[in-house]
Chain A
Amino acid sequence: MEFSEHIKTANVEDVVLRRPFHPPMQGTLCVTGHHLLFSNRDGDSSRLVLLLLRNIDAIEKRPSVSSGTITLKCKDLCVLQLDIPGMEECLNIARSIEYLSSLDIVSDMYPFFYRPLKLSLQDQWGLSSPEQNYAQMEELQDRWRLSHVNKDYSVCPSYPPAVIVPHSIDDETLVKVAKFRQGGRFPVLCYYHRKNGMVIMRSSQPLTGANRKRCREDELLLQAVIDGSGLGYIIDTRSNQQAQQARMTGGGFESKSSYSCWKRLHRQLERGKVLQESLIKLVEACGDHSHSVDRWLSKLENSKWLSHVHTALATAGLLAECVERDGHSVLVHGSEGTDATLLVSSLAQLILDPNTRTLDGFLGLLEREWLLAGHPFQHRCAHSAYSHARLRLEAPVFVLLLDCVWQLARQFPLAMGFSEPLLLRLAREVYASDYGTFLCNSDQERCAAGVKERTHCLFQFLLKPSEREHYSNPLYEPTELAIWPSIQPQSLQLWRGLFLRWTQHAVHLEKAQEELRNLVIECRGAS
């Protein structure tokens, strides 16, 4: 595609850029296919500000006779303002931004054009494959096998080509089970608890429908999961009522009569629109800078964001408790099994499994439980909190995950091998990135679009020696113990680092964090 046809005015002189923490700057604004480029030459020194167009969530223009002002609200919650001389230029630029910031075709997006010198397209893409993951877990191999039933994505388009299932269940059975689960997402293993051999499985809802259809193969598969251990738990991320209602539209739940060895627990996690609106309200409250006696705490409460954090952590805690304390295997699902399900299963793994708390382990977890497990990133992160566009499939589930992880890290400051800057970086990259990692909605789509051949991998980049230091927790001290978060409302805090990122306060804390890091590094250097 030719981007230039959407750029009527490519260059404007004497533009004033206003952004947080910096005095207004005058210079030249330049629009390219993927970036806004602002440069200012002040004597010998020149400064360059580069903004990825994809990062722009909303644009507001106020043209007047001879000039105009464009306010850019970014997906990383930063708000910038451009004062542009010339109404014509202002409108042209605004139009270009509007169009180019919301490209739909994956292969038009910037990661396909990003070619930094230090990276090569020949580098490995991704951290690990299902095969490698399976090979590493020897202790489960006598009861669990790696199935390639989905090798051409025909059984479940949102699953990776290989998944782990009970040994006794053959591929033929899996195909039948897939037909009984929404989107073909049949139950697969996502975590094996070494201490007691219990597992976490995830899937989508069973398609029981109004007339309570059964599927022998599905029952067989679940029976094989708890084989011998007597009882399993199903954590349904919908309320009982929602689950009942789902039957009217062909969905449903595992009834007591058909799955007698499984005990169902319902925990209602919000998803989709409700979650997106919560984020919008939160960001609105954070951005309201009226210094009058605002009712900040009420606004914060009304946004309900922290109660979503609470529910997610509480459900993950419950799941981990079932596995670790009660010694039972758990199947977790909601309806589609691509959002709340992944949120709960990955948080539970962080609580239980020290391997997921290292920098490598955490990124590996995200790869397994979010990228390969088919969280529809492209749909969910098309827009962030500022967009005026009509909401479609947007939902900040991944941001919610990062927030929950931040709460964990805050409560267990030594237990995580990675740092807050990593979480902040991920929160930014998921919406707009130079890398291909978060493109598309599933592994299948990524393969089809050539993402793995034609873009660079964010996770590989973050693990490079040059980056690793910055994203590691200097005070990290591994613990084998499970980390049980406190979920009292008093223990959960607003993630100021993200939501109040563009205030003076964040600068103080960032500076302090930097000092702290230097202290520790200096200290390590000596010893």
Chain B
Amino acid sequence: MASASIPVYNRSNNPLENSSSQNASRESLKMEPLAVTLLPGEERVIDKDIMYICPFSGPVKGKVFITNYRLYFKSADADPSVTLNVPLGAIGRVEKMGGASSRGENSYGLDITCKDMRNLRFALKQEGHSRRDIFDILFRYAFPLSHGLLLFAYLSQEKYEENGWSVYKPMEEFRRQGLPTDKWRITFINDNYELCDTYPTILVVPFKATEEDLRKVSTFRSRGRIPVLSWIHRENQAVICRCSQPLVGMSGKRNKDDERYLDVIREANGTAKLTIYDARPSVNAVANKATGGGYEGDDTYQNAELVFLDIHNIHVMRESLKKLKDIVYPNVEESHWLSSLESTHWLEHIKLVLSGAIQVADKISGGNSVVVHCSDGWDRTAQLTSLAMLMLDSHYRTLRGFQVLLEKEWISFGHKFASRIGHGDKNHADQDRSPIFVQFIDCVWQMTKQFPTAFEFNERLLMTILDHLFSCRFGTFLYNCESARDTNEVRSKTVSLWSLVNSDSTSYLNPFYTPESSRVLYPVASMRHLELWVTYYIRWNPRIRQQQQSPVEQRYMELLALRDEYLKKLEELQLTDSSPNSSHLSNSSASNAASPTQHINHLHTPF
């Protein structure tokens, strides 16, 4: 694979790149002339002649197909052809553009805002309410929950060799960490979600704390989210605990049980002073007292020190990403790119999240236990604990381990995916929506950039995760918490994203991965070292496309293949005299990734 040349100077863009480069579509959708391979369970709803107003190459005549899963557009005669392939889940807002009496070319049609950093505009003929049916159908199927319909994940009939729902088994994960110990025990107190309805059923708590203690503490923590163990350092037994804010309120209430409970956490490995990381800016923490929340005061929690990490709330992050979208789509700000980028503050927020996580990881490495919380303990807290764990524990840097990390810290501990993303919900202005998880994945990407050999997975995995964060094709990111997932039988009725990933794991491996078990990764969280994730945020713009890591990976894979071939030959030759020397294979990342590729029977529906 040579580095192909890409034309850039005053040339018309290559519309091939306009087609959605989603992995989701690539593997399941093969384009024959006007034929789309549908997913099992995917059904066609409507198709229509339409004009796609491409922001990069102007209006393109073609046909749009809408299924219960996606919007698909194919140009009629543009050369080269233009295609769009958008899961309906990625659509955030559908609006009518212009009216029956609007003048001007292409002024009548649909305006679609997507959650994945792009907007789509289609124009139709003005005669005969031509857009009414397509608008209604799009509106229904893009927002099924607002119309009493099922999310596509419940309709999908996809079958995979691997079952992604078995990736995360809490007991197994805790055992891997060396739990329980004589200081930490596993409790089933939340088996019926009675202690805390947004927590998982299995929790790890201090050995010394009784079930009664836990119940008492839960009354003093917002939504009952008591401090529980997320991760323990094998050697020094320092722990990361997570929780929500204490219910201190305006009057400065105290709770002896909560104070004692935190002290028990401190004692467990002989930490002199427990560090409590409050992710919020201190002003916000103070302001939260007005609504009954607050933070741990110095005078009440004597053996604890409180550190504010100055990370802003979901509303600030939402606005920041919105600003970023404004400067990258459809047209990229050119003349003052860097200062425009700065004014979105997106990278600054990334920096604060990363440096917060570094502080947590550093404390733990130093042998001190920490407690992390924000207000509810399901947004910033999840970012901090999971990033710190990624720095501390190389297991989470493997393909499987990363899935476990997400399942554990994000999904099971109740990051409100449904509210933050708004799956299937038409209310695009919902103030609960926020790209907290996208921001976290961005932080992970920053780490992979700074440590190119430390992660077993590649950028494609991160992109795939973000694509299916919105797509609603898999059950993985649906609902706000475990109790809701149980009620809705997610595990029995939908497919896990990890089924897709693990059935084709070679595509998601970083060929340069060199396992190093004991290394703690401290990324540099300075603005100088953070980069905008151009390949994600600006991927729709054909002019920005640049040579990515992929040719390098591909080249390296070729070399690996060559080597394997050689080793095989060598083995054959040596069969008679000595056993083959397999030491070369031992640290090859490709060798342990030889999982057979799954073949799915596609339904071919000619449009």
Contact = CB atoms under 8 A, between A and B. Distances in A.
Contacts of A523: 556, 559-560, 562-563
A505 B453 contact: no
Interface stretch (B65-73, B114-122, B204-212, B546-554): B546-554
Interface residues of B, number: 56
A296 B451 CA distance: 22
Contact of B4 (A293, A478, A481, A512): A481
A415 B337 contact: no
B526 A484 contact: no
B332 interface: yes
Given A298-B342, A481-B4, A509-B450, A490 B534 contact: yes
Nearest to B545: A486
A490 B544 contact: yes
Residue among A296, A493, A494, A515 with the most chain B CB within 10 A?
A: A296
A350 B451 CA distance: 30
A494 B560 CA distance: 32
Contacts of B529: 496, 500, 503, 505
Contact of B546 (A306, A411, A524): A411
A295 interface: yes
B452 A413 contact: no
Interface in B542-591: 543-547, 549, 551-552, 555-556, 559-560, 562-563, 565-567, 584
A219 to B, nearest CB: 30
Contacts of B544: 486, 488, 490-491
Contacts of A491: 534, 544, 546
Contacts of A477: 1-3, 555
Given A298-B339, A411-B546, A500-B529, A527 B559 contact: yes
Nearest to A294: B527
A317 B556 CA distance: 29
Interface string A216-240: 0000000000000000000000000
A298 B559 contact: no
Among A295, A412, A480, the most chain B Cβ lie within 10 Å of the Cβ of A412
B182 to A, nearest CB: 38
A488 B543 contact: yes
A527 B1 CA distance: 19
Contact of A414 (B6, B348, B555): B555
A512 B452 contact: yes
Given A483-B5, A493-B531, A526 B566 contact: yes
Interface in B77-93: none
A413 B551 contact: yes
A484 B334 contact: no
A306 B334 CA distance: 12
B189 interface: no
A477 B512 CA distance: 18
A195 interface: no
A516 interface: yes
A248 B360 CA distance: 66
Contacts of B526: 291, 296, 503, 505
Contact of A490 (B348, B532, B559, B565): B532
A356 to B, nearest CB: 15
B172 to A, nearest CB: 31
Nearest to A303: B338
A261 B145 CA distance: 69
A503 B525 CA distance: 12
B8 A297 contact: no
Residue of A297, A415, A496 with most partner-chain B CB within 10 A: A297
Contacts of A103: none
A481 B5 contact: yes
A413 B547 contact: yes
Contact of A515 (B336, B514, B527, B547): B514
A423 to B, nearest CB: 17
Interface string A283-300: 000100001011111101
A411 B338 contact: no
A138 interface: no
A151 B7 CA distance: 42
Contacts, number: 153
Interface string A505-527: 10011001001100110111011
Interface in B281-335: 328, 332, 334
Interface in A249-298: 286, 291, 293-298
Most A CB within 10 A of own CB, among B337, B454, B512, B560? B337
A412 B531 contact: no
Contact of B559 (A295, A321, A485, A524): A524
Interface residues of A, number: 55
Nearest to A286: B528
Interface in B8-53: 8-9
Nearest to B351: A293
Contacts of A508: 450-451, 523-524
B364 interface: no
Contact of B336 (A295, A301, A481, A504): A301
Contacts of B3: 412-415, 477, 479, 481, 483
B2 A479 contact: yes
Contacts of A520: 556, 559
Nearest to A407: B546
A483 B8 CA distance: 10
B538 interface: yes
Contacts of B454: 512
A293 B565 contact: no
Given A484-B5, A491-B546, A509-B452, A293 B348 contact: yes
Contacts of B411: none
A479 B526 CA distance: 37
A512 B552 contact: no
B282 to A, nearest CB: 15
B347 interface: yes
Contacts of B549: 413
B5 A297 contact: no
Contact of B338 (A301, A483, A522): A301
A3 to B, nearest CB: 39
B8 A298 contact: no
B341 interface: yes
B9 A297 contact: no
B563 A527 contact: yes
B337 A516 contact: no
A491 B535 CA distance: 10
A87 interface: no
Given A503-B524, A509-B450, A412 B563 contact: no
A293 B543 CA distance: 32
Contacts of A522: 584
Interface string B83-112: 000000000000000000000000000000
A10 interface: no
A301 B6 CA distance: 27
A392 B222 CA distance: 66
A475 B450 contact: no
A488 B552 contact: no
Given A291-B526, A488-B334, 20 more contacts: A297-B341, A297-B527, A298-B342, A300-B338, A301-B336, A484-B8, A486-B543, A490-B328, A490-B544, A496-B528, A500-B528, A508-B450, A508-B451, A512-B451, A512-B452, A512-B454, A519-B512, A523-B560, A523-B563, A526-B567
11 contacts: A297-B338, A297-B527, A477-B3, A481-B5, A484-B6, A487-B9, A491-B534, A504-B524, A509-B452, A512-B454, A527-B565
Interface of A: 286, 291, 293-298, 300-301, 306, 314, 317-318, 321, 411-415, 475, 477-491, 493-494, 496, 500, 503-505, 508-509, 512, 515-516, 519-520, 522-524, 526-527
Interface of B: 1-9, 328, 332, 334, 336-339, 341-342, 347-348, 450-454, 512, 514, 522-524, 526-529, 531-532, 534, 538, 543-547, 549, 551-552, 555-556, 559-560, 562-563, 565-567, 584
Closest 8 CB pairs of A and B: A301-B338, A297-B342, A489-B337, A479-B2, A296-B527, A505-B524, A527-B566, A527-B562
